[in-house]
Chain A
């Protein structure tokens, strides 16, 4: 009997992916609309079965969360993303938020993932260690960055750091993925900030959106952070002069 149960559940897990109109749009199977009523036009989607997309190192996999978890975490994410206007989201070309758990990218557990080409971010709502609101802003920034690469110039950004500092070669190349706020780190707000210029920018942006006054305090005694904040703010205002941090 136990064997039959294992066979049955294995069959469910490996049964064919559910392609639907959402798949047609963003190339992720097994999703359903969770909420499409947001005033700013964002569409929240939930995983209804585990899915895996992409191949080898670029594969992204995630599984379906329970209803209770979804309800609890959705409120946090929605509250944070509601701060962006319809017009701003149109400008940055962002539309879909996928809520799932056990997200992994290239086999490495991830808290979020952005796919600018598909106007989509995925958020691992199974994570309890980090602020999901900040993760949402972080992933949203990657969409901004990808669509406005010309203004978020990485060479200019790197110049803000001390000459001796070098970023890692990729966002997962470093051994330290810590997203907690660190102080007195001479230009960086988290360990993860030190991975790549894009992640560093996303960290500054997400802290600005969630812990503005704390960041202002850090900036008052950290010249590099101050410059980085100005860089992000100035460029965001180029996209939308009415943007509110």
Chain B
């Protein structure tokens, strides 16, 4: 006959502790798998903007990035940017060049499309609308959140690719064309997929949708 042994108080505490640990581990395992869990998603309909015509909303995997465009600083480039956004050209285009906590770049309309991603030429594609001249502002500071138009090593080669700064970059002043600044959603951009060893990303994240607040 088996003799029943009553649990001691400390044994009971140990069991409760182990059970709680298992529950927390289970929750934590699923939480960290969701990279967007602690990222606030900004709803533009709940925000009051001074100039609604210059607000663009980039929707990525972790939420909305709300950008104010600066047509007064870079009129031609912002005009091109708005045109491409309104025509939905950026939808499903890759963030192909990402430097961790520094910068994200996307907008290769030719080789960066989700259904036609071409790793060989990614980053070299064009929009078909021709190159733009670099619009330099002597007073503009490229600080965290600035959206600029990307180019090759030479000036006046801007087309459709753009970058967003996640840090201040004083050396970018008078080098690149500024097109706007992120008002809300920098955390969303920090979650864009990057590669520790290379600035170019294999199997990159994509822009889900890019639209103007007012069409």
Contact = CB atoms under 8 A, between A and B. Distances in A.
B89 to A, nearest CB: 24
Contacts of B165: 21
Interface in A19-38: 19-25, 33, 36
Given A16-B196, A16-B197, A23-B99, A118 B171 contact: no
B103 interface: yes
**Which one of B99, B103, B171, B197 has the greatest number of beta carbons of chain A within 10 Å?**
B171
B175 A24 contact: no
A33 B99 contact: no
B28 interface: no
Contacts of B167: 20-21
A117 interface: yes
A22 B153 CA distance: 13
Contact of B99 (A16, A24, A41, A117): A24
Given A19-B199, A118-B153, A33 B103 contact: no
A43 interface: yes
B153 A21 contact: no
B102 interface: yes
A36 B196 contact: no
Give the one of A19, A21, A22 with max B CB within 10 A: A21
A30 to B, nearest CB: 13
Interface string A4-27: 000000000000100111111100
A43 B169 CA distance: 13
Nearest to B194: A19
B99 A20 contact: yes
B99 A19 contact: yes
Contacts of A19: 99-100, 102, 199
Nearest to B150: A24
Nearest to B166: A21
Interface string A26-61: 000000010010000101000000000000000000
B172 interface: yes
A33 B171 CA distance: 9
Contact of A25 (B100, B171, B174, B196): B171
Interface in B143-175: 153, 163, 165, 167, 169-172, 174-175
Contacts of B174: 41
28 contacts: A16-B196, A19-B99, A19-B100, A19-B102, A19-B199, A20-B102, A20-B167, A21-B99, A21-B102, A21-B103, A21-B165, A21-B167, A21-B169, A23-B99, A23-B199, A24-B99, A24-B102, A24-B163, A24-B199, A25-B171, A25-B172, A25-B175, A33-B171, A36-B170, A36-B171, A43-B171, A117-B153, A118-B153
Closest 5 CB pairs between A and B?
A21-B169, A19-B99, A117-B153, A20-B102, A43-B171
Given A19-B100, A21-B99, A117-B153, 6 more contacts: A16-B196, A16-B197, A21-B169, A33-B170, A33-B171, A118-B153
Interface of B: 99-100, 102-103, 153, 163, 165, 167, 169-172, 174-175, 196-197, 199
Interface of A: 16, 19-25, 33, 36, 41, 43, 117-118
